[in-house]
Structures are given as C-alpha cells and as structure tokens.
C-alpha cells in the first residue's frame, strides 16, 4: 500500500499534500491540548509499532505481498488524531531512509494510512465498544472489526489514486505517464486482496494486542466512555509492556523476508520496480523514469546487499528495524519538545478534548 515515486501524477500527489498539511496542523493542535506527558511514550511506541508491523510482509497467491499497518491500534489507545501523527512518523522514516513509499507520495500514503484508516477503524471500534467495561470482549472484538474495516478503507483510497492515473495523465498515444492500470484493474487487485486476506491479518493483530492489554494494562483502554479516548492511566509500566511487544516484533521481523521467499512472492501490488512494471504493462511510464531516490538503507538493507543470502538479509533486516524504531521514537520526542506545549493534566482538559475528536 506504499505508493512509490513515479506512480502518481502531480495532479494527484500535490492535492494530497494540500489535504494533509492542514490535517497535520489539526492533529498537532489536538495533541497539544489533550496529550498528557505520561502518554508521550505510548505515542512514540505506537509509531514504532506501526513501523515494525509494516515490515511483516505476508505473501498471497499470485506472487504478491501485503502487510498490516497498526493505525487503528494507535487510534484506540490514544485517539485518531494521535494516530495521524504516529503513522505519519513511521511513513516518513520509511520513505526517506528505506525507500519504502515515495517522497512525492508521502502525502498520499499518509492520507490513506494515517487518516482514512485510523478514523474509519476507530469509528467502528467506538460503535462496538462504547461504554463497555475494561474486561469486556467488546473491546477486542471492536478492535478486530475496526482494524479490518480501516485497512480496507485505506486500500480503497490507494486503489482510486492508482486507478485514476491513466485518465488524468497520458501521452498523445494514450499510454499512461504514471500508473498504467486503471480503476478496473486497481480496485479489484487492491481491495480484493485486503478484503480476503490482509484485512484479517490487520484484524488479528489489532484484536490480539487489545486482548493482551486488557489483561496486563486495562487502563490503556477507553473503558468508561469513548469520547474522548485519552483518559487511560498510561504510565511507565504501560510503556514497558508496549516496548516489549515492539522489541519482540523487531527480532521476529525476518519472517517478513522468509515467508515471501518461501512462497516465491514478489513486490506488493503497485510497488513494482521499473523493470517489473515493464514486464507487466509492456512499457515503463515516462513519469517513472524521472525518479531515483537513493535511500540510505534501500529495502531495509544496505546498498548493493539487496541480493545477499537470506541469512545476511535477515540480520540487516533486524538492524534496519532497530534503526527505524530509534528514528521514529526520536522524532516523536523531538516533535513533543518543539511543537507541543506542556499538556494540562486535569479532567477538565480531557473533557474539553471531546470537541476535538
């Protein structure tokens, strides 16, 4: 679902940035009013969780892959506006450092995965779990259903962005200048795989984590009411438990390499290289030839090591996970110091935040 450079026309990615800039501003304003100091580690670790879970590539029949995102989980723990910031941090680090997603497409990717997904998923969770006590199974069921719905809404957003490219940008011969596959191909390909598989992966991940937190740290869940969802008593213990989850995921992240290799799966739909696209479409769109961002750790590896033995790639993958998590967490704290004022830790401030949700 990470749209690369060269797949979207300026008529698409520029408006996406235009939409995201005020949304980023709004998210920062909401968190400035509502996020408490002891919740900042949860935000940083939520961004780290989203970063790492996207490294777990799952193969599907037909030779493609996909992954969970984790945006709905962050929305459940801290609210959808916090998820906007957390997932944005993950996507920016992925694009700039690892070449996962395009630089020009950051706004589009954030619109799909950091806005559409958490707000849609959180809305579903709110409908199912509203007013439920902390130990109610309605929380993990709502989380699972919300995760499923959220990622499918994001997939539909990406499919539409891909699919309109041949309509709005083509040469005199009618060949697309950017993504060459129209809506009739993009929507079934993107939405079909997410409806049938990746949505369930997202549901399982989100539901399991919420069920785990119900047992070990129920104060993280908005158990009394869901507007606003910022009232959990997140403390040092909460941060340690989420940090353990993230650390375990980093160690296990090479599964995201082994499974696609085991089943012969290639790139995710819409994330092909120029050579791969030439085989699929019969030509390389002109727009795709104009972009060559040299990421420091391309494909979560090192330059020139992308074809190394699987064991070597696995070690580099873990190191990339560690580096990415360190960067995401650091950025979260930098933003906290530079942008957000010291939050007022009172019930009145939390009640006032209801209007911002």
Nearest to 67 by CA among 227, 194, 189, 217: 194
What is the residue whose two structure tokens read 């740290």? Answer: 217
The full set of domain ranges for the chain reads 10-342
Nearest to 115 by CA among 137, 88, 76: 88
Taking CA atoms, 53 is separated from 68, 253, 336, in Å, by: 6, 8, 23
Nearest to 264 by CA among 84, 61, 25, 72: 61
Q: Are 45 and 242 in contact (CB under 8 A)?
A: yes
Residues belonging to the chain:
357
Whole-angstrom Cα Rg for the chain: 20
> What's the rounded Cα separation, in Å, for the pair 76 and 122?
6
- Sequential pLDDT tens for the chain (357 residues): 899 999 999 999 999 999 999 999 999 999 988 888 888 899 999 999 999 999 999 998 667 899 999 999 999 999 999 999 999 999 999 999 999 999 999 999 999 999 999 999 999 999 999 989 988 999 999 999 999 999 999 999 999 999 999 999 999 988 999 999 999 999 999 999 999 999 999 999 999 999 999 998 888 888 554 444 444 444 445 678 889 999 999 999 999 999 999 888 888 999 998 889 999 999 999 988 777 788 999 999 998 887 889 999 999 999 999 999 999 999 999 988 877 655 444 444 334 343 344
Other CB atoms within a 10 A radius of the CB of residue 318 amount to 17
CATH architecture of 10-342: Orthogonal Bundle (1.10)
């Amino acid at each position: 679902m990470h749209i690369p450079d060269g797949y979207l026309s300026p008529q698409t990615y520029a408006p996406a940035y235009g939409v995201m800039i005020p949304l980023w501003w709004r998210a920062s304003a909401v968190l400035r009013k509502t996020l408490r100091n002891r919740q900042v580690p949860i935000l940083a670790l939520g961004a780290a969780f989203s970063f790492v879970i996207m490294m777990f590539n799952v193969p599907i029949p037909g030779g493609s892959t996909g992954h969970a995102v984790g945006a709905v989980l962050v929305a459940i723990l801290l609210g959808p506006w916090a998820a906007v910031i957390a997932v944005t941090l993950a996507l920016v680090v992925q694009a700039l450092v690892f070449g996962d997603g395009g630089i020009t497409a950051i706004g589009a990717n954030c619109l799909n995965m950091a806005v559409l997904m958490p707000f849609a998923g959180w809305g579903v969770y709110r409908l199912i779990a509203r007013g439920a006590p902390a130990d109610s199974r309605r929380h993990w069921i709502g989380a699972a259903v919300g995760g499923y719905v959220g990622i499918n809404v994001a997939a539909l957003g990406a499919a539409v962005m891909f699919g309109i490219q041949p309509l709005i940008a083509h040469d005199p011969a009618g060949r697309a200048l950017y993504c060459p596959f129209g809506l009739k191909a993009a929507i079934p390909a993107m939405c079909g795989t997410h409806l049938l598989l990746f949505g369930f992966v997202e549901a399982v991940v989100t539901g399991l984590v919420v069920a785990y937190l119900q047992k070990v740290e129920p104060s993280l869940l908005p158990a009394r009411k869901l507007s606003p969802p910022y009232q959990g008593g997140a403390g040092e213990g909460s941060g340690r438990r989420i940090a353990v989850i993230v650390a375990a995921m980093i160690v296990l992240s090479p599964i995201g390499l082994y499974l696609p290799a085991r089943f012969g799966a290639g790139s995710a739909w819409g994330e092909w290289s120029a050579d791969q696209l030439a085989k699929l479409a019969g030509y390389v769109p002109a727009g795709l030839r104009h972009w060559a961002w040299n990421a420091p750790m391309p494909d979560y590896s090192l330059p020139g090591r992308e074809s190394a033995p699987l064991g070597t790639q696995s070690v580099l993958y873990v190191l990339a996970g560690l580096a990415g998590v360190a960067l995401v967490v650091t950025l979260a704290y930098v933003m906290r110091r530079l942008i957000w004022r010291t939050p007022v830790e009172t019930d009145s401030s939390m009640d006032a935040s209801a209007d911002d949700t």
